[in-house]
């Protein structure tokens, strides 16, 4: 992949007519090292946030050895790129053929579930042709927890509640070599207290089930930083999780896992778009709701923006964006602050699109073509450049 110093030099060199994704491997490396060194347990990368092969290699080289995959296509993808990675199939509803292929062909042992039906499906799919049941299954029961501290809820679709959880833990224990509890507090959790609540619920489920628990997986939800969404330092999350993990009634050697998606890759990518037309305070740009800006359109996410022209000097005004497709829904309300005299032909860099941005692009209406390049400058915001962390304090927990 070609390397440039920054977005401005890309525009000067290429004047691109189509959107360009700018990747920052150094930013993903820094995020991965942060989790590997400071999270008091194991960090699995949640592949759905950004499955790009280059990023997977960057994370592996930075020390991320475990990957949370949710479909057989993600299993095949990661196995093809990282033959030694540990893959954990953490979607609670899977096709039997996907479970069978993952277990038999790709060496996947860890599966999540939130129902007896799924437990039976996993057990059947991992039984061999002679009728011998698998003895090496690592099962994780997914609990439903609140998403009240998060910007994007994951509370309704998956997870069993406290009336079903304890029984399911007992049933899963009979088939599992290793039994865990997992949950997801929702994406972009703005307070560490989200995990406290979820771990309290975990405690209640374990106490009632009275089975040996070998692993607690606190899922994803670790935030990145966006305009208007500035979370506390990640060290605060890690400290609080570690304290509450230690207080659980679990095996003395139980492991602590987490599954960050957003926090590992949000800073990895930005996007250069071209303004095709201006109508008042609305800019028609060449990426949108069906491209990398899905979240800007559909959940009103605010991404940082900057104009890439040197000659725009007027004060900033607030703009909304239209994407390139013929659909009215291809609209991003923002508001996005840009120089007042921005106009057709100018370029804009939109930041923090490494998570659920670059991964969301479709070819709808013929607008999917995108080039990817590497740039060397800093991402438009960072949780890891030392600017936001409190002084490295005594309460930073590290197992090293
Ligand atoms: C999406 C997802 C993640 C990653 O969530 P982030 O909020 O991006 O950290 C982790 N685990 C599971 C099961 C998920 O579905």
Q: What is the pLDDT of residues 272-321, one digit of tens each?
A: 999 999 999 999 999 999 999 999 999 999 999 999 987 777 788 999 99
Among 265, 294, 313, identify where a domain stops: 265
Q: Is the CB of 187 under 6 A from ligand 1?
A: yes
Residue 394 forms part of a structural domain: no
Q: Is the CB of 74 under 6 A from ligand 1?
A: no
Residue 370 forms part of a structural domain: yes
Query: Of 238, 295, 289, 287, nearest to 262 (Cα)?
Result: 295
pLDDT of residue 389: 52
261 and 134 fall within a common domain: yes
DSSP structure string for 68-109: EE-SHHHHHHHHHH-TT-EEEE--SS--HHHHHHHHHHH---
Predicted confidence (pLDDT) at residue 26 exceeds the cutoff of 80: yes
Return the best residue to mutate from 88, 143, 219, 266 for the ligand 1 pocket (most ligand atoms within 8 A of CB). Answer: 219
Query: Of 92, 64, 89, nearest to 263 (Cα)?
Result: 64
284 alpha carbon to ligand 1 midpoint, in Å?
Answer: 32
149 and 292 fall within a common domain: no
167 and 95 fall within a common domain: yes
277 and 255 fall within a common domain: no
Output DSSP code: residue 271.
E
Residue 382 forms part of a structural domain: no
Q: Is the CB of 359 under 6 A from ligand 1?
A: no
Return the best residue to mutate from 32, 46, 237 for the ligand 1 pocket (most ligand atoms within 8 A of CB). Answer: 46
Angle value at C-alpha 303, between 336 and 6, nearest 5 degrees: 100
Residue 149 forms part of a structural domain: yes
Q: Report the C-alpha gap between 343 and 399 in whole angstroms.
A: 53
Q: CATH number of the domain at 322, please.
A: 2.40.37.10
pLDDT of residue 388: 63
Residue 118 burial (C-beta neighbours within 10 Å; 0-12, 13-18, 19+): buried
Q: Report the C-alpha gap between 75 and 65 in whole angstroms.
A: 14
184 alpha carbon to ligand 1 midpoint, in Å?
Answer: 7
Residue 274 forms part of a structural domain: yes
**Cα separations in angstroms, 306 against 21, 55, 251, 259, 280:** 15, 24, 51, 31, 19
From the CB of residue 377, how many other CB atoms can be counted at a distance below 10 Å? 16
95 and 230 fall within a common domain: yes
For residues 157-167, average pLDDT: 93
pLDDT of residue 400: 29
pLDDT of residue 311: 76
Residue 294 forms part of a structural domain: yes
Structurally, how many domains does the chain consist of? Answer: 2
103 and 10 fall within a common domain: no
261 and 320 fall within a common domain: no
Confidence of residue 266 (pLDDT cuts 50, 70, 90): very high
Among 242, 265, 288, identify where a domain stops: 265
How much is the mean pLDDT over the chain? Answer: 94
42 and 142 fall within a common domain: yes
193 and 277 fall within a common domain: no
191 and 205 fall within a common domain: yes
Residue 391 forms part of a structural domain: no
In this structure, are residues 349 and 270 in contact, taking their beta carbons and an 8 Å threshold? yes
Residue 284 forms part of a structural domain: yes
Q: Kindly give the residue spans of alpha helices, DSSP state H, lying in the chain.
A: 7-14, 25-38, 53-61, 72-81, 96-106, 116-125, 165-173, 193-209, 234-246, 262-265, 294-298
pLDDT of residue 379: 97
79 and 214 fall within a common domain: yes
pLDDT tens digit sequence for 358-394: 899 999 998 988 899 999 999 999 999 887 654 444 3
Residue with tokens 């910007």: 151
135 and 248 fall within a common domain: yes
131: phi > 0 → left, psi -120 to 50 → alpha, else beta; which?
A: left
pLDDT tens digit sequence for 92-118: 999 999 999 999 999 999 999 999 999
Q: Is the CB of 354 under 6 A from ligand 1?
A: no
pLDDT tens digit sequence for 207-260: 999 999 999 999 999 999 999 999 999 999 999 999 999 999 998 999 999 999
In this structure, are residues 69 and 47 in contact, taking their beta carbons and an 8 Å threshold? yes
Predicted confidence (pLDDT) at residue 397 exceeds the cutoff of 70: no
Looking from the CA of residue 222, the nearest atom of ligand 1 is 9
Looking from the CA of residue 355, the nearest atom of ligand 1 is 8
pLDDT of residue 394: 39
Range(s) of the domain holding residue 223 = 26-265
Q: Report the C-alpha gap between 315 and 338 in whole angstroms.
A: 8
67 alpha carbon to ligand 1 midpoint, in Å?
Answer: 11
Q: Is the CB of 92 under 6 A from ligand 1?
A: no
């Amino acid at each position: 992949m070609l390397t440039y110093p920054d977005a401005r030099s890309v525009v000067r060199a290429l004047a691109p007519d189509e959107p360009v994704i700018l990747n920052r491997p150094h930013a993903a490396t820094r995020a991965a090292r942060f989790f590997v060194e400071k999270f008091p347990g194991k960090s699995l990368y949640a592949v759905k946030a950004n499955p790009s092969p280059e990023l997977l290699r960057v994370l592996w080289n930075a020390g991320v050895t475990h990957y949370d995959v949710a479909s057989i296509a993600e299993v095949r993808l990661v196995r093809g790129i990282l033959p030694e990675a540990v893959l954990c199939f953490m979607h609670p509803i899977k096709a039997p053929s996907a479970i069978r292929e993952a277990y038999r062909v790709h060496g996947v042992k860890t599966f999540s579930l939130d129902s007896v039906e799924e437990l039976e499906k996993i057990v059947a799919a991992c039984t061999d042709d002679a009728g011998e049941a698998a003895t090496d299954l690592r099962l994780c029961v997914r609990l439903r927890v609140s998403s009240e501290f998060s910007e994007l809820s994951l509370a309704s679709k998956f997870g069993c509640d406290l009336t079903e959880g304890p029984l399911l833990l007992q049933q899963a224990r009979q088939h599992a070599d290793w039994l865990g509890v997992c949950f997801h507090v929702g994406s972009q959790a703005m307070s560490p207290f989200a995990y406290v609540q979820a771990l309290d619920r975990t405690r209640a489920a374990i106490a009632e089930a009275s089975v040996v628990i070998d692993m607690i997986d606190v899922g994803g939800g670790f935030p990145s930083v966006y305009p208007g969404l500035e979370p506390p330092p990640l060290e605060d999350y890690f400290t609080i999780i570690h304290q509450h993990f230690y207080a659980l009634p679990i095996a003395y050697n139980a492991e602590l896992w987490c599954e960050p998606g957003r926090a590992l890759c949000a800073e990895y990518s930005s996007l250069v778009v071209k303004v095709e037309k201006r109508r008042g305070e609305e800019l028609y740009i060449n990426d949108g709701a069906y491209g990398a800006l899905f979240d800007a359109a559909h959940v009103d996410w605010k991404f940082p923006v900057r104009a890439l022209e040197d000659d725009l000097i007027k004060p900033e005004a607030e703009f909304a964006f239209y994407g390139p497709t013929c659909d009215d829904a291809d609209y991003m309300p923002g508001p996005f602050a840009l120089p007042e005299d921005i106009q057709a032909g100018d370029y804009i860099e939109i930041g923090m699109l490494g998570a659920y941005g670059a991964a969301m692009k479709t070819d709808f209406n013929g607008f999917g073509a995108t080039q990817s390049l590497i740039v060397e400058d800093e991402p438009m915001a960072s949780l890891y450049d030392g600017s936001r962390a409190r002084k490295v304090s005594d309460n930073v927990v590290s197992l090293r």
